Amino acid sequence: MKFWRKGKPGGEPTRIFYASDIHGSEPTYRKFLNAAKFYDVDALVFGGDLMGKLLVPVVRDGNGSWVASLQGTVRHLESPEELAAFTARLDTLGFYWFECEPDEYRTYEGNQERIDGKFDELAKHRLAEWVTLAEERLAGSHVRVYLCGGNDDTDQVLTALDEMPEDRAVHCENRVIDLDDAHTMVTIGYSTPTPWLTPRERSEEDIAAEIERVMADVSDPTRCVFNFHCPPLDSSLDTCMKLDASVWPPAPILVNRQPVYYGGGSQAVTDALERYQPLVGLHGHIHESRGSVTFGRTPAYNPGSEYGEGVLRGVIVAIRDQEVVGQQFTSG
Amino acid sequence: MAEAAITQPQVFTRRASGLVRVMSPYSAFIYNILTMGIIFPWTFLWAPAAFQGSNLILGIVFAFVFELPIALAYAWLATALPRSGGDYVFQSRVFGGGFGFTIVFAFFVVWILQWVALSGWLMAALGLAPTFFGLAAATHVHAFASIGTWCASSNGIIVISILNAFVSLVLLVSGFRNYVRFQYVMWYGILLSFGFVLLLFLTTNPTAFHAHINAFAQAVDGVKNFFGQARAAAATAGVNFHPPFYLFGTLMVAPIAWTSLQWATYSVEQGGEIKNAHVFRNQMFILVGSLAATAGLLILLAAVMNHGVGHDGVLVASSGYWLGNSKALIGGGFMVPNLMAMALTGSWIVILLIGFGFILNSFQIVCNCYIGCTRIMVAQGLDGLLPDWFSRVHPRWKTPVNAHVAYFLAAVPVIIAYNKVAGWSTKWALGVTFANGCVFVFSALAAALLPYRAKKLYEASPGAKYKVGNTPLVTILGAIGFATAVFMVGAFLVVKNLGLAYANGKVPYYVVAGTVALGLVIYAVMRAVKARRGIRVEYAFAEIPPE
């Protein structure tokens, strides 16, 4: 197969498309799959945070219409067409939704456990559909899509990645993947603790230990791609507002009416990039911190995320031998 | 039993991280007003003598009406694409990367270097010189007049301009939040200053003004009967003090006033840093609200100047700027509105407060040159159309230090040339009026075509629901805005007393064309370099179909 001759010295580079943090957005995920053909790349690498963040109940009102809230506005949907347009908008935004009667709706009010259960049910269903879609779209090509969770995803939902036969869609987390016959990739989806108390946060020590564990199976780090959801600490790929975790939802900390910024990344990731000098670091997590930085010989990228607008932000990285020979940020 | 209806269902959330942005809509609103520069003197110094018989107030109203559809169309663009890089992102998305890069690089990044020089001139000639002249008149300490004269000299302007640009560089490199914090000081400073100017004009009359300006000029230059001499010289230079109403001239005031009002949309360059930038009413407040507020303040200033300084006074001041009437200069500087207001008060405190506001606004102008252009350079660097070096963010200060330093270094020779090269301001610098205007022309067109050239993006935007019949409202507004912007840019291109045609030669046109050629060459080179590495830069802008 052509792909397996790529990436070697003197040959054509292997081209990877990386994106992250699409948070349930249906059109953004579909764009991600189509990026393989559109950008003519050899592998699609996802950096974590597959799950959406909001669940919108669409309540039947008994008169053939529906009522729902979105972005602070109550929407009265008078026809199936209006309902379809509204739910399509929710899909774009990455929100989950379900139709219900008023009595059913009331069973969710104030019951976070039941809400979380519904989230998991709908998110797992959507993820399973996405895996199936990946198998369909990439069938017959040499391209694989490498999927993993981020700190916002629950382990329960991520089981959908393991319950499907791996052909084109591969669950790549916490193990070593052969990208081609010259390059490997390791993936870690955890983040350091956040004010949002998300499902898959780990201490610096735990992340460092996880990196050590997975790197034990990598023979040549200089040909290895680091797909770490959490960016390196204080690297400019992790700049975000400091939030007050004592209130819910966490609010920006203001000094003289101005927000305070800090690095929301991981020191363990920084240490790993500096110590192993891998081929490239691919990171997400901090949506607003799009950019690139280098650690010695190693470039690290965070393409950012604008999933809510249906925009797929990503980066194409061309690798050959022990070198990144080209890169291009995209906004598709 | 029927179930009770749910009138306001909740949206359920789970524990997941969120995204927050820096700049409040109110800060962006202030930013635009300060960028539009209510202190800009050109409407009052340039138009009266260049288009004698024109009505300034009506001309400003025309400029507002012409800019309104452009600002409205930008509200659609800014909510559909709330990203830093603004015009570059809009045009790249709608017309393609080569076009977007070339237009915005040539007409903004290159030409706004002239604005860095202009902001230094504003700081020296509009802020510092009049303040020192005012202090000389109020305190009778002649050393202040000497300092003011130095500030208005070419060497003084160069030194002040470079310092102005350097201090701005340091402030912005130290962190954008420091700028946003200081912006409030600038905002309240200019409001206080502008308020005093309006009040002083409102509480005087032309006869009293003549006496005050005579005393002021005598204190600064030792000249007696300054206004009488300046008026006589203005008449000799070609000023008709009783011209009939001139409708075409009034229409031509609009492009001059537009050099201020066109900046109502400048906040889009840092759309990625504005909180809730995707919310329609926020962008209407930021873009259209700031436009209306600034137009109102300019109209108010024109009205109170007519009341306090009088028609003759306005023409005499303008003759000093436009007709080279040296008798209408005080301390070598022009009779700018704030200097005339300072002449009306004997209080050094009021003089300092007026001067402080104008100095602060001049400083803000150079800041917004950096802010807008460095964001564009970062966006272009990330897209691979400028070297990566420009897009690097400093790990400690979290700001694009390289882009800031590059822009400062590029501005220094422009500052020197602006003040030392003969004819620069008429042969070279006036291209900025045409060049900057062109960016707005093409962005208005991008707005008109957005529903057709970026269909999915448009349909996901909040403005998509507004239609007239089957035609998207943004298409109608963008088309009208395109037409009005073409009218004003066309005026800069061909009308003798405006922009490029003033120099009586082809040099300004070649300069503008040269900047476009530079943009095209850079695009072609970067495209070829990327292609050699297996990357196509077109990928940066192409929208992937979801199906």
B515-526 pLDDT per residue, tens: 999 999 999 999
pLDDT at A2 over 50: no
Mutate to test the interface with A, among B7, B17, B374 (most CBs of A within 10 A): B17
B465 close to A (CB below 8 A): no
Q: Which residues of A touch B177 (CB under 8 A)?
A: 258-261
Query: Cβ–Cβ of B19/A234 closer than 8 Å?
Result: no
pLDDT at B1 over 60: no
Range of lowest pLDDT (A183-192, A255-264, B325-334): A255-264
B455 close to A (CB below 8 A): no
Averaged pLDDT, B103-128: 91
Query: Cβ–Cβ of A119/B14 closer than 8 Å?
Result: yes
- Please name every residue paired with A329 in a beta bridge, in sequence order, or none if there are none: A315
User: What is the reported pLDDT for A7?
Assistant: 64
Query: Considering CB atoms only, which of B4, B22, B395 is closest to A259?
Result: B22
User: What is the reported pLDDT for B486?
Assistant: 96
Mutate to test the interface with B, among A230, A236, A307 (most CBs of B within 10 A): A236
Q: Which residues of A touch B277 (CB under 8 A)?
A: none
CB atoms within 10 A of CB B87: 25
Query: Cβ–Cβ of A292/B8 closer than 8 Å?
Result: no
Give residue-wise pLDDT tens across range A84-127.
988 888 887 778 899 999 999 999 988 889 998 998 999 999 99
For B465, the token pair is 């629901």
Specify if B307 maps to a domain.
yes
B2 close to A (CB below 8 A): yes
Query: Cβ–Cβ of B14/A116 closer than 8 Å?
Result: yes
User: What is the reported pLDDT for A284?
Assistant: 96
Specify if A158 maps to a domain.
yes
Averaged pLDDT, B130-149: 93
Averaged pLDDT, B361-367: 92
pLDDT at A324 over 60: yes
Query: Cβ–Cβ of A316/B394 closer than 8 Å?
Result: no
Averaged pLDDT, B454-466: 83
Query: Considering CB atoms only, which of A35, A54, A236 is closest to B11?
Result: A54
| Confidence grade of residue B426 (pLDDT, cut at 50, 70, 90) | low
What pTM did the predictor assign?
0.78
Query: Cβ–Cβ of B15/A102 closer than 8 Å?
Result: no
Q: Which residues of A touch B3 (CB under 8 A)?
A: 62, 101-103
Give residue-wise pLDDT tens across range B335-357.
999 999 999 998 999 999 999 99
* CATH number of the domain within which A152 lies: 3.60.21.10
Q: Which residues of A touch B539 (CB under 8 A)?
A: 39, 316, 328, 330, 332
- Nearest-CA distance from B442 to chain A in Å? 21
Let me know if B276 is exposed, middle or buried by CB neighbors in 10 A (0-12, 13-18, 19+). Answer: middle
User: What is the reported pLDDT for B454?
Assistant: 83
User: What is the reported pLDDT for B138?
Assistant: 92
Mutate to test the interface with B, among A22, A258, A288 (most CBs of B within 10 A): A258
pLDDT at A204 over 90: yes
Query: Considering CB atoms only, which of B3, B180, B546 is closest to A62?
Result: B3
Specify if A133 maps to a domain.
no
Helix ranges (DSSP H) in chain A: 26-38, 80-93, 102-108, 112-138, 155-162, 204-215, 267-276
Query: Considering CB atoms only, which of A69, A235, A261 is closest to B11?
Result: A69
User: What is the reported pLDDT for B450?
Assistant: 94
Searching chain A, which residue's CA lies closest to the CA of residue B459?
A89
- Tell me the pairing of strands A323-331 and A313-320: antiparallel
pLDDT at A49 over 90: yes
B392 close to A (CB below 8 A): yes
Averaged pLDDT, A277-293: 92
Q: In total, how many domains does chain A have?
A: 1
Q: What is the mean pLDDT of chain B?
A: 89
Range of lowest pLDDT (A158-167, A253-262, B152-161): A253-262
- Nearest-CA distance from B395 to chain A in Å? 5
Specify if A282 maps to a domain.
yes
Specify if A122 maps to a domain.
no
- Report the percentage of chain B scoring pLDDT > 70: 95
Q: What is the mean pLDDT of chain A?
A: 89
DSSP class per residue in A206-225: HHHHHHHHHHTT-S-GGGEE
Range of B75-84, B106-115, B228-237 with top mean pLDDT: B228-237
Query: Considering CB atoms only, which of B6, B278, B533 is closest to A67?
Result: B6
Averaged pLDDT, B292-320: 96
Q: Which residues of A touch B537 (CB under 8 A)?
A: 328
Task: Give the span between the Cα atoms of A207 and A187, in whole angstroms.
Answer: 11
Range of lowest pLDDT (A203-207, A225-229, B35-39, B456-460): B456-460
Query: Cβ–Cβ of B534/A249 closer than 8 Å?
Result: no
Of B371, B366, B375, nearest to B412 by C-alpha is B366
Task: Give the span between the Cα atoms of B448 and B428, in whole angstroms.
Answer: 32
Q: Which domain holds residue A19?
A: 2-48+139-331
Q: Which residues of A touch B80 (CB under 8 A)?
A: 309
A-B CB pairs within 8 A amount to 197
Plot region of B176 (φ>0 → left; ψ -120 to 50 → alpha; else → beta): alpha
Task: Give the span between the Cα atoms of B313 and B304, in whole angstroms.
Answer: 12
Give residue-wise pLDDT tens across range A185-198.
999 999 999 988 89
Whole-complex ipTM: 0.77
Specify if A99 maps to a domain.
no
Q: Are B4 and A102 in contact (CB under 8 A)?
A: yes
B505 close to A (CB below 8 A): no
User: What is the reported pLDDT for B376?
Assistant: 85
| Confidence grade of residue A8 (pLDDT, cut at 50, 70, 90) | low
Q: In total, how many domains does chain B have?
A: 1
Cis amide linkage into residue B82, ω under 30° from 0: no
Task: Give the span between the Cα atoms of B311 and B307, in whole angstroms.
Answer: 8
pLDDT at B75 over 70: yes
Specify if B100 maps to a domain.
yes
Q: Which domain holds residue B456?
A: 25-536
Specify if B347 maps to a domain.
yes
Specify if B49 maps to a domain.
yes
Cα–Cα–Cα angle for B314, B317, B321, rounded to 5 degrees: 130
Specify if B245 maps to a domain.
yes
Q: Are A239 and A233 in contact (CB under 8 A)?
A: no
Query: Considering CB atoms only, which of A30, A69, A116 is closest to B8?
Result: A69
User: What is the reported pLDDT for A1?
Assistant: 41
- DSSP letter assigned to residue B497: T
Of A284, A250, A151, nearest to A206 by C-alpha is A151
Query: Cβ–Cβ of B16/A53 closer than 8 Å?
Result: yes
pLDDT at A148 over 90: yes
Specify if B541 maps to a domain.
no
User: What is the reported pLDDT for B303?
Assistant: 96
pLDDT at B3 over 60: no
| Confidence grade of residue B18 (pLDDT, cut at 50, 70, 90) | very low
Of A274, A292, A192, nearest to B395 by C-alpha is A292
Query: Cβ–Cβ of A152/B530 closer than 8 Å?
Result: no
8-37 of B, contacting A, C-beta below 8 A: 8-22
Query: Considering CB atoms only, which of A51, A55, A67 is closest to B7?
Result: A67
- Report the percentage of chain A scoring pLDDT > 70: 95
* CATH number of the domain within which B331 lies: 1.20.1740.10
Bigger pLDDT: A283 vs A11: A283
